[in-house]
Structure 1
Amino acid sequence: MSKPSKTAGEAPASDSLRRRHRGWRVAAWIVGPLLLVMVPVAIVGSVTPAPSALIIRSLFVKDGAARAAEMQEHVAVEPATQMFDIAYGGGVDPVETLDLFSNATEGELLPTVVWIHGGAWVSGSSANVNPYLKLLANEGYTTVGVNYGLGPEATYPAAVNQLNEALGYLNDHADELGIDSSQIVLAGDSAGAQLASQLATLITDERYANLMGIAPALEADQLSGALLNCGVYDLASMAELDGIIAWGLQTSLWAYTGTKNWSATYEGATMSSLDFVTSDFPPTYISGGNGDGLTWLQSIPMSTALQAAGVPVTELFWPAEHEPALPHEYQFHLDRPEAQEALEATIGWLGEVTS
């Protein structure tokens, strides 16, 4: 009986099997170590958010440093006064610090922008936004970047209490810091925008302050405005998302609130500033990129709620078809013309609310 013929270029079956076996071994070398890491993280992650939250933090740290370096290149002149790591909590907790930038002369008090950094409630620092604060300081403001406790080490409402304490410190030391305490703008990006909106609600709504059990450090008439970039204002809608980005945000919220069921508890309810908007909420500037899902799910509904309550709102949103699609926190990518437009709009709005 004759042997089966083999066409030109066709390897014997044994050669094909050997190559396939080598491929499986290569795949095992790659996938094996990943599984050794991913499987335990997945198992532990079903019980505690800490390992995943720390992974998320590491990603934010790298991104935040790169973004700050990009912004720093646009700072042509450094503000005359730069103060770092001012302890606002009496030095008990090392995270309770703030940075300040100003061109105020001796005895001069300037309208003040208090900025709360983002980082999904588990990462970030004032250093990530300091170059942007320098730009605003050069427009005639004292600007302050505040640090606060992050999850999972600190759980809700620790950050709210700390930020309220920081406002009290700024109010008490206004004269020496060049702060006009009658013209305070609360500002923030991403998770920081959520916190800024929550503080504005705390200060302007006595019922909400009672629910939180926190005595506001400022009076409502001390607030000139709220500046909200790319924030989260409705926690219930966050729980309904799926996908890798949603997983990251939901894990971060679990780490920050200390409860896996955050959307249906006190934590999620009181973090949802959209549900507590009143006409006393300060005039608001709100913006988000068209390529950021949070714009459509969070920022636009928040703007709609504010306007329905009679709050003066200045929006900067972009058409859905705008190209290039603008990502989360596009405002900090100052090499982009849209970010420059947002900066100009921000400066213009600040001039209106603090004039």
Structure 2
Amino acid sequence: MLRLPVNDATRVRAKSIATVEYNLDIDYVGDGVRDHRLDVLVPRGAPESLPVYVYFHGGGWTSGDKSSLTKYCASQAEEGMIVVNANYRMATRFQLSHMMSDGNDVLDWVARNISEFGGDPSRIVLGGDSAGGHIAALLTASAFEPELAAHYNISPRVDRSNLLGLVQHCSIADFSVMFERGFVLSLNFLRILLPARGRGLHLRSAARFMSPIEWLDSGFPPVFITTSERDYFYRANLNFIAALRKRSVLVDTLIYARNRVNTRHTWQQESRHPESQEVYRRLGDFVRRVAPRPVVLA
């Protein structure tokens, strides 16, 4: 494990929750690149093997870092789970295929190593906010849809039977909304995720492989979606919820009306808001429900 830079150590002390053990900046690829680091947060004194919550930060696919999610992830660890908080390569230097490859490598690391931290590799829930939630949803879909996995040239490293849930915080699982007039993001955000900025590609066809909503196998795991009318991706979230329910996939939702001023895009990261605390409580309930402790027969 690598030693933390001073600024990272200061950041953790400032945001730490004392009941959680922090294992920081683990190199999950082995190349020394910060984009290939992850943290493992473990509730102190955990008496048993716990479910694993793997989280990807947001930032419009172009920015962000796991460090900003330290307190959020620690709050989830307090709910009784092992939390893996991961970085990944980002645009504009890299494309969505690189992000998918990195996410797949994170899951490979989890499958091989998480038991050393008290995590159960057969009880995994993926999650993320905004762009990170999109990556988590696309990774989940690729585990159930071989065509999607082949498109990104990945071989899923975790058996789909071990992916028990998906969490979406203000994420975009339906790229069709990007083609709507007046949408907050231009199609340039779609182009930067594609090889050669999408030159020579039909964008609507390419968007199909970027939209988790297009790849909902009947075996898709339960999903917990948190959004609000103040969220940029509110309509995309409603579309995703409707598509999941149409396929009889269990969906748990927490949706705030526009009058809740603390619910702008990715508000879940700010723990001081009561709306965020409600997310944490509901998320803990969701993980315990979809990834319960196995029953040991006498």
Give 1:211 deviation, angstroms: 3.5
Report the Cα offset of residue 251 of structure 1: 3.5
Matching residue of 1:277: 216
Report deviation, 1:160.
0.1
- For 1:147, the equivalent position in structure 2 comes to 87
Aligned counterpart for 1:119 among listed residues 25, 36, 59? 59
Identical amino acids, percent of aligned pairs: 25
Q: Provide, for residues 204-239 of structure 1, a one-character-per-residue CA deviation record: whole Å limited to 9, x for no partner.
A: 223332343321001111112000111111223213
Measure, in 2, the Cα distance between the counterparts of 1:266 and 1:202: 17
* Counterpart among 204, 208, 223 of residue 148 in structure 2: 208
Please give the alpha-carbon distance, in whole angstroms, between the structure 2 residues aligned to 1:263 and 1:137: 43
2:174 aligns to what?
Answer: 234
Q: Is the 2:230–2:257 Cα contact (8 Å) retained in structure 1? A: no
- Which of 290, 301, 314 aligns to 2:239? It is 301
SS of alignment partner, residue 136 of structure 2: helix
Residues 80 and 284 in structure 2, CA contact (< 8 A), matched pair in contact too: no
> Superposed, which structure 2 residues align to 1:195-344 within 5 Å?
195-242=135-182, 245-247=184-186, 250-258=187-195, 259-260=197-198, 264=203, 267-295=206-234, 297-320=235-258, 322-324=259-261, 326-344=263-281
**Once the 2 structures are TM-superposed, how far is the Cα of residue 302 of structure 1 from its aligned partner?**
0.4
Asked if the contact 1:104–1:142 (Cα under 8 Å) also holds between the matched residues in 2, the reply is no
Q: Does the Cα contact within 8 Å between 1:263 and 1:269 map onto a contact in 2?
A: no
Gap change, CA 1:263 and 1:237, over 3 Å in 2: farther
* Whole-angstrom distance in 1 between the partners of 2:277 and 2:44: 25
Give the structure, 1 or 2, with the largest relative contact order (CA under 8 Å, sep 6 or more).
Answer: 2
- Aligned residue-pair number: 279
Determine the C-alpha separation between the residues in 2 that align with 1:354 and 1:293.
30
For 1:156 and 1:271, the matched residues in 2 are separated by 8
Contact 1:104–1:178 under 8 Å retained in 2: no
> For residue 18 of structure 2, what is the aligned residue in structure 1?
77
1:109 to 2:39 alignment: no
Q: Unmatched 5+ residue regions in structure 2?
A: 1-10, 293-298
SS in 1 for 2:263: coil
Q: In structure 2, what is the Cα distance between the partners aligned to 1:140 and 1:318?
A: 26
**1:24 equivalent in structure 2:** none
SS of 1:256's equivalent? coil
SS in 2 for 1:83: strand
Is residue 228–residue 286 contact of structure 1 (8 Å, CA) maintained in 2?
Answer: yes
Q: Partners of 2:50 and 2:133 in 1: how far apart?
A: 22
Task: Output the CA distance in 2 between the equivalents of 1:106 and 1:77.
Answer: 14
Alignment partners' CA distance in 2, 1:292 and 1:197: 18
Greater Rg by CA: 1
* 2:52 aligned counterpart, secondary structure: strand
RMSD: 2.4
Bigger drift between 255-264 and 226-235 goes to: 255-264
Corresponding residue for 2:286?
Answer: 349
8 Å CA contact 1:290, 1:325 repeated in 2: no
- 2:279 and 2:138 mapped to 1: Cα distance? 23
For the 8 Å contact 1:151–1:252, the answer to whether it is kept is no
* Aligned-residue offset at 1:266: 5.9
> Is the 1:121–1:191 contact (alpha carbons within 8 Å) kept by the matching residues of 2?
yes
Q: Secondary structure at the match of 2:233?
A: helix
Q: Aligned AA for 2:215? A: F
In the TM superposition, residue 104 of structure 1 has moved relative to its aligned partner by 5.8
Decide which moves more: 94-103 or 183-192: 94-103
* Aligned residues of 1:289 and 1:330 also touching (Cα < 8 A): no
Give the distance between the partners of 2:23 and 2:275, measured in 1 at CA. 30
Separation in 2 of the partners of 1:260 and 1:113? Answer: 33
CA–CA distance in 2 between the matches of 1:100 and 1:135?
A: 13
| 2:19/2:44 contact within 8 Å kept | no
What one-letter code is carried by the residue in structure 1 that aligns with 2:81? Y
- Partners of 2:188 and 2:114 lie apart in 1 by 38
Deviation of 1:284 (Å): 0.6
Shift of 1:92: 5.6
Task: Note if contact 1:235-1:263 (Cα within 8 Å) is conserved in structure 2.
Answer: no
Stretches of structure 1 that go unaligned for 5 or more consecutive residues are 1-68
Distance in structure 1 (CA, Å) of the matches to 2:246 and 2:64: 33
Specify whether residues 338 and 168 from structure 1 end up closer, same or farther in structure 2 by C-alpha distance, changes over 3 A only: same
Give the aligned residue type for 1:310: S
Paired position in structure 2 for 1:66: none
Task: Quote how far apart the aligned CAs of 1:293 are.
Answer: 3.2
Separation in structure 1 between the aligned mates of residue 113 and residue 260 of structure 2, nearest angstrom: 46
CA contact (8 A) 1:188 1:227 kept: yes
